[in-house]
């Protein structure tokens, strides 16, 4: 499967490396393409089955507005950690993923890969079982694709419901960030779902 990752920072390249190792054709969309696997945003999404947003949230609107993602599944791995354009009330009632759906024009938007750090994306295995990766979307087929990708790289892939649940997943990301960084637990802990 061809996967375009928009952004080549730590999260983007970690996910890209994992998906490439699993046999997928991975290309990165960046501002300064160098040929090879780093291309312009438009070139990267051309022909992609999956497009993953791994940009800092402040850059998302500019990059995705007018970007032709076609019928690709668009995955939002970003988190709006600061108020966007000063619109704090909307930030409380509309997730970053819902905004990305509007900016990109995609009806196949999925929220995933946002509730943990790159260290867990590189290795989601823990002694008690794999880290959970929550996946939210309105499009059932798109959600199935992303649940499969998450499982393929070792996560316990968990259906988190409709795209509106992205608001909850973005808040969960804040819990992970606070515990990992502010409270000093470090970046090698993850959320898990235990079942009986």
Count the neighbouring beta carbons within 10 Å of the beta carbon of residue 140: 9
- Taking only the tens place, the pLDDT of each residue in 91-109 is 567 899 999 999 999 999 9
> Where does the pLDDT of residue 150 fall: very low under 50, low under 70, confident under 90, or very high at 90 and above?
very high
pLDDT exceeds cutoff 60 at 90: no
- Taking only the tens place, the pLDDT of each residue in 53-81 is 999 999 999 999 999 999 999 999 999 97
Burial class (CB in 10 A: 0-12, 13-18, 19+), 145: buried
What are the angstrom distances between the C-alpha of 59 and each of 102, 130, 146, 169?
Answer: 15, 31, 23, 20
Return the DSSP state at 105: -
Are the C-beta atoms of 153 and 87 separated by less than 8 Å? no
> Where does the pLDDT of residue 124 fall: very low under 50, low under 70, confident under 90, or very high at 90 and above?
very high
Domain layout of the chain by residue ranges = 2-182
Assigned CATH for 2-182? 3.40.50.720
Strand ranges inside 47-143, DSSP E = 50-53, 73-76, 109-111, 132-137
pLDDT exceeds cutoff 90 at 188: yes
pLDDT exceeds cutoff 60 at 143: yes
pLDDT exceeds cutoff 90 at 83: no
pLDDT confidence of residue 85: 46
> Where does the pLDDT of residue 41 fall: very low under 50, low under 70, confident under 90, or very high at 90 and above?
very high
């Amino acid at each position: 499967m061809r996967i375009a990752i928009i952004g080549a920072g730590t999260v983007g390249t970690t996910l890209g490396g994992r998906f490439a190792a699993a046999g997928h054709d991975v290309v990165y969309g960046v501002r300064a393409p160098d040929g090879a696997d780093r291309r312009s945003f438009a070139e990267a999404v051309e022909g992609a089955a999956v497009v993953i947003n791994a940009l800092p949230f402040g850059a998302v609107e500019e990059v995705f507005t007018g970007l032709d993602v076609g019928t690709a599944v668009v995955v939002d791995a970003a988190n709006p950690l600061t108020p966007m354009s000063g619109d704090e009330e909307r930030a409380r009632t509309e997730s970053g993923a819902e905004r990305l759906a509007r900016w990109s024009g995609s009806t196949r938007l999925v929220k995933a890969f946002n509730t943990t750090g790159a260290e867990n994306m590189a290795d989601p295995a823990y002694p008690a079982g794999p880290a959970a990766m929550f996946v939210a979307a309105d499009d059932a087929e798109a959600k199935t694709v992303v649940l499969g990708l998450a499982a393929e790289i070792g996560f316990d892939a968990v259906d988190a419901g409709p795209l509106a649940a992205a608001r909850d997943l973005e808040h969960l990301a804040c819990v992970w960030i606070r515990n990992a960084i502010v409270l000093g637990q470090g970046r090698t802990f993850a959320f898990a779902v235990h079942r009986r």
